[in-house]
Amino acid sequence: MINLKDPTLFRTENYINGKWVGGSGRHIEVLNPANGTLLAKTVDGNADDACDAVEAAATAFKTWSKVPAKERATYLRRWCELILENADDLGMLMTAEQGKPLAEAIGEVNYGAGFIEFYAEECKRVMGDIIPTVANDRRLQVYKQPVGVVGCITPWNFPNAMITRKAAPAMAAGCTVVIKPDAGTPLSALALCELAERAGIPAGVINVVVGSDAQAIGEVLTQHKKISKFTFTGSTAVGKILMAQCASTVKKVSLELGGNAPFIVFDDADIEEAVTHCVSTKFRNCGQTCVCTNRIFVHEAVAAEFTAKLQHSIAALKVADGFEEGAEIGPLINTQALEKMDALMADALDKGAKVLLGGARHKLGQSFFQPTLLNNISDSMRLANEEIFGPIAAVQTFTTEGEVVEKANATEYGLAAYFFTRDIGRVMRVSEDLEYGIVCSNSGVFSTEVAPFGGWKQSGIGSEGGKEGIADFYETKFHSLGGV
């Protein structure tokens, strides 16, 4: 059992229509990825539970959508305050079920709460329009009205923030939500519901269905006629399937999918700064984020210096159980992720990669993998083309600006990109030429609730965060008022 200050945050039942629902008696075992111990047995919900949640959300929408924006904002602010007050406990739940270091988990809780705070404020600023009339007997008006019930599927790598980033703007806009969290990390989602209930958010406004049958529950959330919008964070392959399912009822869709982020270091870069940010963007959450550095391109003139300093920094990272003091790298989420690292390494070594550091499973066992650094990378290797989603850094070299931009863009993905240079002209050119929804120059830190987060190409549709993040939860209505 996790030693929480408030044990009532530890919930194992689904939250539907303001009630904790036990279900059919089947359960999901939630395991700690650092040691394999059993944390909890949660209810294993099914498609019927999802349908019940949709019906509850549809009923609640009739009243929640009519609540004034200022009043909705008050509910959300209280929810945010409760999350911040319980950040330590929420962080412990996350570290236990997901594995990331505790300090990082608490940071995610605070980050997630920021979306609730931001959209509590933003919903009071969404405006319609009065259009200059085209005739004296007519008035032209544009309304913004909430879209309806929103179906959400969220991932295991950010089990708190990916919920608040979707639910907060939806609820702020006047929509109601049905959320399916990953079955491996349900405790964070259920704890958020407990706090939403304490905040007084009405029954049916937020619903969470945990279930192992992802396909059946996903079909409800993408095809049920009472769901008007669907939003998903996960792999591109799954996103394509869910998008196709949404087409049957022409739902509004937001997708935040995979990435293949380039990290470019030009010959005039501040090498120390570039190394620091490379480590943080590559090894955050053990490399398990969609915006992690995936392909490292370093100008041939500074490659030796950069790689040596990067190796030194990676070697200093502390690999440990997320609850251990000073832990910086926790476990991968499960043994399947570990096996993928093995396969990527085998492929790279077979094709000529050189191991400078790590390259194998960690002595801690379970789902731990050594922080790894490779060079002599070629385009034929899997890790040069696929999303690694683990603690493997692979360095390539380049000669010219045009060459590296072309390489960086040579992918079906377009989520995040990073580059380092002290040439202001190059900053402007490269930021414009990179085909990515998020571009960071001279920094590896960008996530914030006040700015849009979204990808180009096969990295997704739409944005979360910022004013863009709430826009898609409204429908636009044009009212032509005659007989004036």
Q: For residue range 394-420, what is the model confidence (pLDDT) as tens digits?
A: 999 999 999 999 999 999 999 999 999
Alpha-carbon dihedral sign for residues 83, 88, 93, 96: positive
Establish whether 256 is a catalytic residue: yes
User: Is 362:369 a contact under the CB 8 Å cutoff?
Assistant: yes
Q: Do 191 and 134 sit in the same domain of this protein?
A: yes
Which pTM value belongs to this model? 0.96
Q: Do 327 and 361 sit in the same domain of this protein?
A: yes
Q: Do 187 and 306 sit in the same domain of this protein?
A: no
Tell me: the pLDDT tens digits for 113-157?
Answer: 999 999 999 999 999 999 999 999 999 999 999 999 999 999 999
Structural domain total, the chain: 2
- Average pLDDT, integer, range 44-62: 98
Going by C-beta distance under 8 Å and a sequence separation of 6 or more, which residues neighbour residue 40? Answer: 10, 12, 29, 30, 187
Q: Do 350 and 238 sit in the same domain of this protein?
A: no
Residue among 17, 290, 36 at smallest CA distance from 165:
290
pLDDT at 16 over 70: yes
pLDDT at 23 over 80: no
Which residue out of 122, 256, 328, 464 is catalytically annotated?
A: 256
Report the distance separating Cα 301 and Cα 319, nearest Å: 32
Range(s) of the domain holding residue 28? 7-257+459-480
The two three-digit tokens of residue 40, written as one number = 């909890």
Residue 453 belongs to a domain = no
User: Is 204:124 a contact under the CB 8 Å cutoff?
Assistant: no
Q: Do 469 and 349 sit in the same domain of this protein?
A: no
pLDDT for residue 348: 98
Establish whether 286 is a catalytic residue: no
Q: Do 356 and 240 sit in the same domain of this protein?
A: no
Strand partners, 329: 319
Q: Do 412 and 470 sit in the same domain of this protein?
A: no
Which residue out of 193, 290, 292, 440 is catalytically annotated?
A: 290
With 0-12 / 13-18 / 19 or more C-beta atoms within 10 angstroms meaning exposed / middle / buried, residue 270 is middle
Q: Do 121 and 227 sit in the same domain of this protein?
A: yes
pLDDT for residue 1: 63
Q: Do 124 and 205 sit in the same domain of this protein?
A: yes
Residue 454 belongs to a domain = no
The two three-digit tokens of residue 11, written as one number = 């919930």
The two three-digit tokens of residue 377, written as one number = 């990378």
Q: At 138, which CATH number?
A: 3.40.605.10
The two three-digit tokens of residue 313, written as one number = 């920094």
Report the distance separating Cα 215 and Cα 181, nearest Å: 13
Give one word for 24, left, alpha or beta, with left for phi > 0 and alpha for psi -120 to 50: alpha
Enter the DSSP assignment of 31.
E
pLDDT at 109 over 90: yes
Sheet of 293-299, strands arranged across: 354-357, 372-375, 392-398, 293-299, 261-265, 416-420, 438-441
Q: Do 106 and 35 sit in the same domain of this protein?
A: yes
Q: Do 395 and 318 sit in the same domain of this protein?
A: yes
SS3 142: strand
Residue 372 belongs to a domain = yes
Report the distance separating Cα 397 and Cα 377, nearest Å: 9
- Average pLDDT, integer, range 301-319: 98
